[in-house]
Amino acid sequence: MRRRVAPELPSGNRRLVKLQLPWGVFSKGTHPLPTQPSGPACQFTEAWTPAPLLERVWVDAEVVVLTFGLPDSSAPLGCGDAYIPCVLARGGRDPATGAAFVRPYTPMATTGVGSFRLNVRVYEAGKLSRHLAEMPVGDFLEFRHVPPGHYAQRFLAAADDVAFVCAGTAITTAFQAAERVLRRGKATRVRLVYGSRTTASILNKGDLDALAAAHGDKLVVTHVLSREPADSGWRGERGRVDKAVL
């Protein structure tokens, strides 16, 4: 994967590296790379497994939060200590070929018992996302585990200090990676800059607040709102995520 070197950290002489991912990651420092995930194994295996849709909550006209049940209702989804856990989802049918639609998703909150969530942006021409937006609660979608091992997994495992820059549904990936970096206990600080349209469209704010409360000054979360009404009383950052915010 291509890398780009960014300016030095203000607090030291080690370099910042930005990964070319759907969200930005900056870090410094090195630690020995882990060999295998040490947490609970993912409940989904390499075989397709059905999971029921338990709840659908629309955050705005384009983004929906879906809660699915797990095969073992007494255990969490798992996924070990993968810094960026991933599952494949399969559902719906292509009317032309009859084949099911398959897409990768990063699950949200893999430690919750009995269920897990997906943050999904629904596109007008999206095949699986439209199916997810319309499938009845109680129907089943098939899932499959995707093993960790890509470059970002190894990069995050070697980091001391990490900053994540993301917007919209990309918070899912950034949150999972940040939570695992903090759980590892070696990072001196994690900063997460998250762009949303309004306060109502901030995804997983409860998870972010709980994570910040659990780790104190090790985690700094900055919300940036681009379309928040001027008279709303919001006292945080406004506009786009730009150089001034970073």
Of 161, 157, 155, 143, give the one whose Cα is nearest residue 37: 157
| DSSP code for 155 | H
Report residue 4's pLDDT band, with 50, 70 and 90 as the boundaries: very low
pLDDT of residue 157: 61
Report residue 137's pLDDT band, with 50, 70 and 90 as the boundaries: very high
C-alpha to C-alpha distances, 144 to 44, 77, 79, nearest whole angstrom: 5, 12, 11
* Mean local confidence (pLDDT), 145-152: 63
pLDDT of residue 176: 83
The answer, yes or no, to whether residue 5 has pLDDT greater than 90, is no
As beta bridge partners, residue 141 has 51
Q: What is the pTM of this model?
A: 0.76
Report residue 36's pLDDT band, with 50, 70 and 90 as the boundaries: very low
pLDDT of residue 240: 86
* Mean local confidence (pLDDT), 58-67: 92
**Under 8 Å between Cβ of 162 and 24:** no
The answer, yes or no, to whether residue 9 has pLDDT greater than 80, is no
CA distance 64 to 74: 25
pLDDT of residue 121: 93
pLDDT of residue 173: 84
Q: Over the stretch 232-242, which tens digit does the pLDDT of each residue have?
A: 989 988 988 88
* Mean local confidence (pLDDT), 136-152: 81
Residues in the chain: 246
pLDDT of residue 130: 95
The answer, yes or no, to whether residue 99 has pLDDT greater than 90, is yes
